[in-house]
Amino acid sequence: MSLEIPHDVHRLRRTIRFLSRPYVLLTRILGGVLAFLGVVLIVLDTSSAVGYAAAAGGLAVVFAIGPIMVAVGMRTQAAAIQHGYRLTLDDEWMHVAYPLVESRCRWEGLDRAVETPEAWYVMFGKAQAMVVPKDVMTPQQRAEFEAFVAKRR
């Protein structure tokens, strides 16, 4: 199977959000703990600037860390991958070819394939994924890919 996948900023943003999700969750939990401790300090001493700073900082972490991580991830993408690419799948390899960069991974290295409404994320490790977007596939290609991944589990 071979697919031409045009560059899509929104798809890249969703991919970064998907890959950073476990780290964002942990950071948000820590931010919530910091905010709670700040509130406790405020209750104990309403004149404590540290309590207000901790509560405000914790809330900022809870709500701002996700968008900040996505923005940083978007800015740090190499210019070479900010183009469309060709995705080729065969029985042994998953091959991604950009105009300036190519990458190949053996299916044996596949940890798992995660399906979302927009794409499949073929995971090679915890934070490495190749994206197989559904919007560029025909219904027949989607069914073929689902069967292909199911066979490798």
Residues 98, 65 within the same domain: no
pLDDT at 38: 94
Query: Is residue 69 located within the same domain as residue 30?
Result: yes
**Any domain includes 128:** yes
Same-domain check for residues 34 and 90: no
Same-domain check for residues 96 and 141: yes
Reported as a single tens digit per residue, the pLDDT across 119-130 is 989 888 777 888
Confidence of residue 2 (pLDDT cuts 50, 70, 90): confident
Distances in whole angstroms, Cα of residue 95 to Cα of each of 12, 112, 123, 127, 137 = 18, 17, 14, 18, 16
Percent of the chain beyond pLDDT 90?
Answer: 24
**pLDDT confidence of residue 48:** 82
Q: Average pLDDT of the chain?
A: 88
Instruction: Give tens-digit pLDDT for 53-112.
Output: 999 999 999 999 889 989 988 888 888 878 888 988 888 888 889 988 888 888 888 888
Whose tokens are 């890959």? That residue is 19
Whether residue 3 is contained in a domain is answered as: no
> Do the domain assignments include residue 109?
yes
* CB < 8 Å & 24+ apart, contacts of 65-70: 65/24, 65/27, 65/28, 65/31, 66/17, 66/20, 66/24, 66/28, 69/16, 69/20, 69/23, 69/24, 70/13, 70/16, 70/17, 70/20
Q: Is 85 helix (H, G, I), strand (E, B) or coil?
A: strand
Residues near 83 by beta carbon (within 8 Å), at least 6 away in sequence: 7, 98, 99, 100
Whether the predicted model's global pTM rises above the 0.85 cut = no
Among candidate residues 58, 75, 92, the one where a domain is terminated = 75
Same domain, 65 and 92: no
Section 3-30 average pLDDT:
88
Q: Which residues of 96-114 are buried (b: 16+ CB within 10 A; e: fewer)?
A: bebeeeeeeeebeebeebe
Q: Per the domain annotation, does 48 fall within a domain?
A: yes
Count structural domains, the chain.
Answer: 2
In a domain, 28, yes or no: yes
Residues 71 and 87 in one domain: no
Domain that holds residue 121: 83-151
Task: State residue 39's pLDDT score.
Answer: 94
Domain boundary (18, 49, 75) is at 75
Write down which residue in 25, 51, 75 finishes a domain: 75
**Structure confidence at residue 153 (pLDDT):** 65
With bands split at pLDDT 50, 70 and 90, how would you rate the model's confidence at 36?
very high
